[in-house]
Structure 1
Amino acid sequence: MKRIATQHMRRSLLSPRPLRLLSPASPIAPSRRCFALSTRRPQDAPVTPLSATLPDAAADSLPTDLPTAEDTGRISVKAARRDSPKLSALHARLSLPLRFPKESLGRCLVHPSADRNPLHNNASLAVIGQDLLAYYTAEWLLCNYPRLPMEVLFAAQYAYAGPRTLSTMREEWGVESVAAPGIEVDPGLLQYARQKPGNAMADGAMLRLKDMPSANAKLASIRPNSQWNYRRGVSSRIVYDNQFGDLDNNGNSSASASSQGPDAGVTTEEASASFINAVFGALYLHAGAQATQAFHQAHILSRHIPLHTLFSFTHPTRDLSRLCAREGFEPPVARLLSETGRHSRSPVFVVGVYSGSDKLGEAAGSSLDEARVRATAAALRSWYLYSPPRENIVLPSQSATTQWKPQMIDIGEIVT
């Protein structure tokens, strides 16, 4: 039978109900939930067998597969049940529904690097929340801007729900991070093991971490195949990469995690993103899809992202010519609308691009060529940033509560 530290049993129980003391004549065996401990035994604490503290009848009926304190993690979910002012203030500040318990909010603040127990950290909730964030953000962008190129769509998703944005949201919510996790930390703080600097000295060695042989093995395990060493285009980013079009290492996460060890630290940005994703996942499980969509609208889509700044055209004049030919428009023609200071040191030319009698774009520049290129780029941005009328937009996730209307599907961007 495994041995556990009985001196921590009172404060590490997961059940909020008080325990009944067993009398010597009572044949009732303690419940299994009473032994789900989540604290680590001190190094100098004596270990007493549990069977020695119970009557013979109760000790004979104990299960033989009880987890030890080291197996169940270092941080207890029961800590969130305490009257934590920070946790209560955060729950009220976010206007979370009453169906969202504080215990789940406290669990969202525990990163797997701080507690390895999957029942106590936010790993599973973060997976659900990350998928929900990607889905709700992508459907809103595709329904409101159906002509966005894929690269701009990836950039817009990163701007709305990327790790940097989520880290900023964590600061706006007033959530502070701790220097080191532990059972004595307030449940309303973000707990995670901090990543060691890449140029720090290794423990017990006279070498830098980046010069250790294991560090080179970690880097090699991230991209073991040659197919990840180059980009094959947008199709490769859609199939192989994550929702932001970045390299996805989920297929090789087991190898990298095993090389880093269970106590590997993370950055503040990664821990903050995991916390925000976990909040969305827990809200979806406790309150449902409608509450999650309203929370997403209030905290994610309410931000103003200037999408026109995400475009970067290499050959805008050629792209506009291909677009007009594909759509059956007349070939674009650049016309000088106005000018000032042609012979001065700072001239300004205003050029418009026309397709027949329709003006597609207009821009100003210090030269005729610069103004023409800028006007062409403005015409392309106005085409790609087209948005249907708001009353005709019905998101797929809202089809259960709103009458469905078919959304516009564009034939695709211009490929040159």
Structure 2
Amino acid sequence: MGYVQKRLASTAAKLAVSPSHVYDLSKKAVASSSRDFFDAQTWAALQPPPESAVTAFAHRIGLAEVLGSADVVRQACTHPSFLPLHAKHHPNQPQPTTNANLATLGNSLLGLFATEHVNATYPHLPTRVMKAAVSAYVGGTTCAAVAKEMGAAPLLRWHRMPNTLTRPAVLYPDALSSVPRALTGLVYKNRSLLSARKFVQKFFLSREIDLRNMIKFRDPRMTLLYTVQKFGREPPKSRLLRETGRFSNSPIFVVGIYSGADKLGEGFGSSLKMAEYRAAEDSLHRLYLTRQPPHLVQLPTSAFPSGRGNIYEASGPEGSYVAGTIADSEVLFGSSGRTGAVMPGRHTIEGDEEGDIEDIL
């Protein structure tokens, strides 16, 4: 086996190309003239995924009966950026069907399912944090990671495209993220909305997202004061709970924040201000990260029929849905600017010395 055949076989093995295609093209590669350069990677990218790999992928993700033929799976794995490459090398052949429309439909469904899931699970979550949580659940980075876990990377057909004035650049993660979106659209198209929600729940919403690190406060003490006033509770007060090594080089203070007799949060630090800051932050986290029990979570999409077909044609039993109480909006203190300055018309509360821990925040 010559150098061209070895390079062709190794490239085809990496890109999951059928060995039959390698044998057919090896003769053309050897017979090509010296002035014509044969690019093995370009040729391998133009070949359709083998039937065995497509079938194995459909069974691996549990959608063999839903997707049906292998052509549908190939369509879900074909990015629109592949069309210029195919038209350049095969101008006389019909263009393959891409996942452009399916990915757009699936992206909308992913956003719908993730938004209702986050909103129903965390009713007090701030709006900006909810948007960040939705992006963490079904964003482009997550879709690309899910596609790799599914094993869709060897089946992807795409072509890198540079950035232009009217179109952003198409990179590998962008093309790979379109595969789970297209699969979501196919499940909705071939089954129903509830089936698509089950698919998204299994591959996306079942993951654990650390929402605590997404909530940041410039001044948690002032934010907590406005939050307590909004709920009509008593002003928060800081109390020193425990301390050790006050006169050493490594003291530890534990501070709790109370609203009347109710303890809102607790924090520790090497100084009273640090412990008070962390206690106020912990109090806000306890409020905004209040999670609804799983058996009490109500999703609006449960009201759609469970029969096959789209939402306009499906028929069958409908699930029960009782809308929950709308939670109070979050406090927007300090959220309109990035300079850290207090906005006009808002009053600040100045405390006393650092050692006076009994003062209002």
SS in 1 for 2:264: strand
**Mapped partners of 1:393, 1:169: distance in 2:** 25
Normalized per residue, the structure richer in helix is 2
Count of residue pairs brought into register by the alignment: 267
- Asked if 1:295 corresponds to 2:196, the answer is no
Give per-residue Cα distances to partners, 1:78-126, cap 9 Å, x unaligned: x57xx61211111011011513123221101100000268970000000
**Mapped partners of 1:89, 1:361: distance in 2:** 52
The correspondence of residues 91-130 of structure 1 with structure 2, limited to 5 A, is 91-101=58-68, 102-115=70-83, 120-130=97-107
Give per-residue Cα distances to partners, 1:368-388, cap 9 Å, x unaligned: 101101110111111111233
**Mapped partners of 2:288, 2:233: distance in 1:** 16
**Mapped partners of 1:377, 1:148: distance in 2:** 14
**Mapped partners of 1:387, 1:296: distance in 2:** 20
Offset at residue 148 of structure 1 (A):
1.1
Give per-residue Cα distances to partners, 1:19-74, cap 9 Å, x unaligned: xxxxxxxxxxxxxxxxxxxxxxxxxxxxxxxxxxxxxxxxxxxxxxxxxxxxxxx9
SS in 2 for 1:414: coil
1:150 corresponding residue in structure 2: 127
* Contact persistence 1:332–1:353 (CA under 8 A): yes
1:133 corresponding residue in structure 2: 110
1:403 corresponding residue in structure 2: 320
Offset at residue 288 of structure 1 (A):
1.4
2:279 corresponding residue in structure 1: 375
2:208 aligned to which of 304, 312, 328: 304
2:264 aligned to which of 331, 347, 360: 360
The correspondence of residues 239-258 of structure 1 with structure 2, limited to 5 A, is 256-257=166-167
Q: Which amino acid aligns with 1:147?
A: H
- Asked if 1:161 corresponds to 2:65, the answer is no
- Asked if 1:277 corresponds to 2:245, the answer is no
1:318 corresponding residue in structure 2: 222
For structure 1, list consecutive stretches of 5 or more residues without a partner in the other structure.
1-73, 178-188, 199-214, 219-255
* Contact persistence 1:111–1:271 (CA under 8 A): yes
Offset at residue 283 of structure 1 (A):
1.2
Offset at residue 389 of structure 1 (A):
3.4
Q: Which amino acid aligns with 1:92?
A: H
1:61 corresponding residue in structure 2: none
Deviant stretches of 4+, over 4 Å = 116-119
2:153 corresponding residue in structure 1: 176
**Mapped partners of 2:156, 2:229: distance in 1:** 55
SS in 2 for 1:140: helix
2:237 aligned to which of 320, 333, 336: 333
The correspondence of residues 196-215 of structure 1 with structure 2, limited to 5 A, is 196=162
Q: State the Cα RMSD in Å.
A: 2.3
Q: Normalized against structure 2, the TM-score is what?
A: 0.69
Q: Percent identity?
A: 33
- Asked if 1:86 corresponds to 2:53, the answer is yes
* Contact persistence 1:75–1:115 (CA under 8 A): no
**Mapped partners of 1:292, 1:85: distance in 2:** 25
